[in-house]
Structure 1
């Protein structure tokens, strides 16, 4: 709603779909089913921008297929396989985001990270943005680490899982 964009999220389970809508997505499609057909049924404008946050290696070919020519594809994960040439025919630009690039490389615009984080904090404080925190498992200990890891391995986690304190 801050950007004026129509946001289409992907989720498989009904509870995850509901969660995405609660976070502000306008629609949700199932990434385990053909995505292009689902997008076409939504009757939304051609998909010009995609942010792939996880499992990019499993979905990037289908994403390239559904994107509009000259679109923008952004990702944050580290896909085991990623053949950028699937985006070439449509001249889709690929953008990797890494939160620590500015500080790791002491870029001239490093202060920009400070400004961005302050802006996000303000939007969270005002209730404009919601955190993606989904579960807090308590203190950091072996049992809670195993519990969190088991949830991640199950493929049924959503949002952030937090462990804090000793």
Structure 2
């Protein structure tokens, strides 16, 4: 099969940073689906893995096939799979410990796969799984939110992939007020389009968010954590909660006097460690598909590249690395 692989950490301007290769077709294990990939989206995790940020660029001695958002069609089933059939159109976020979706075919544990929204194309569907799972787990596994929850959540990085979907979910599934952060006029407009009640300037975060929520906020969801812990400590209410999706190695001590809690959200934790509730991700994706098909959630795809090749994916990586992306970039056939 054709695949796009990374062999060594290289800048995206280097044509060898992502290369077209031919590799044997993968074979599904007992719990796997074999899926024909129709579309993928590129996330910061792809860039980090390509540049060596999460260890070596290969699985064993194999080239690393990236891609952690996918939409496609089931073409094969493992012996123990009973809830999918060949021909099903599905979406998934995959497993960071296995080869990814930047290929003709991918094997994925069926428990983290769901039927894709029927109202979306493969390209528009591929924009959502990883970021939607990240937002959902942050809200409901870490914040323990419910549909009756009120108060305010500060979404740091409101125009990014996670911010774009978390804002929608918070407004549809809770009673929370959402303050998103953005800088440029176009990113501010995007946050409001996604449903944010207000937008704070991330360049003056403490002053801007503080003016919008002078009594403080109950929740902070952070896409850009390093350097911001002191600011979060100023903005969070006593006994509030912070979820970080990018981590930080700085001291959390500023949060102590507020009795605030800090949570790390890593969407791959369930698949990486074979968690007892690994099938929860498939269930979440099923619920998200229903929300999409009811018109309550919209795709966050803003850039669509119709070139499923190394060249197309290099362009998608370049856009993500530019740090000016609004929403998500998708590469499709």
- Structure 1 length normalisation: TM-score? 0.86
The 1-side partners of 2:261 and 2:297 are apart by 27
Equivalents in 2 of 1:84, 1:139: separation in Å?
44
Structure number with greater CO (CA < 8 Å, separation at least 6) is 2
Where does residue 264 of structure 2 map in the other structure? 96
1:74 counterpart residue number? 243
- Give the one of 233, 238, 257 matched to 1:64: 233
Q: How does 1:1-166 map to 2 (within 5 A)?
A: 1=171, 2-33=173-204, 35-43=205-213, 45-53=215-223, 55-79=224-248, 81-165=249-333
1:155 counterpart SS class: coil
Q: Which runs of 5+ in 2 are unaligned?
A: 1-170
- Do the aligned partners of residues 70 and 82 (structure 1) sit closer, same or farther apart at CA in structure 2, a change above 3 Å counting? same
Shift of 1:10: 0.5
Deviations 1:93-144 (A, max 9, x none): 1111122222222222222222111111111111111222221122233433
Distance in 1 (CA, whole Å) between partners of 2:294 and 2:214 is 30
Number of the residue aligned with 2:129: none
Helix, strand or coil at the partner of 2:208: helix
Q: Distance in 1 between matches of 2:215 and 2:299?
A: 28
Separation in 2, partners of 1:44, 1:9 = 15
Which runs of structure 1 show a deviation greater than 4 angstroms over 4 or more consecutive aligned residues?
none
Q: Find the aligned partners of 1:104 and 1:82 in 2 and give their Cα distance.
A: 25
Unaligned 5+ runs, structure 1: none
* CA deviation profile, 1:23-77 (whole Å, cap 9, x unmatched): 11111111011x2322232256520101112x21143332222111111100112
Q: Indicate if the aligned counterparts of 2:215 and 2:237 stay in contact, CA closer than 8 A.
A: no
Say if 1:148 and 1:107 are closer, same or farther in 2 by CA, change over 3 A.
closer
Cα distance, 1:146–1:104 mapped onto 2, change above 3 Å: closer
The answer to which structure has the higher strand fraction is: 2
Matched residue count? 162
Q: Aligned partners of 2:320, 2:279: CA distance in 1, in Å?
A: 33
Distance 2:275 2:320 in 1: 34
Deviation at 1:154, TM superposition (A): 2.6
| Larger CA Rg, structure 1 vs 2 | 2
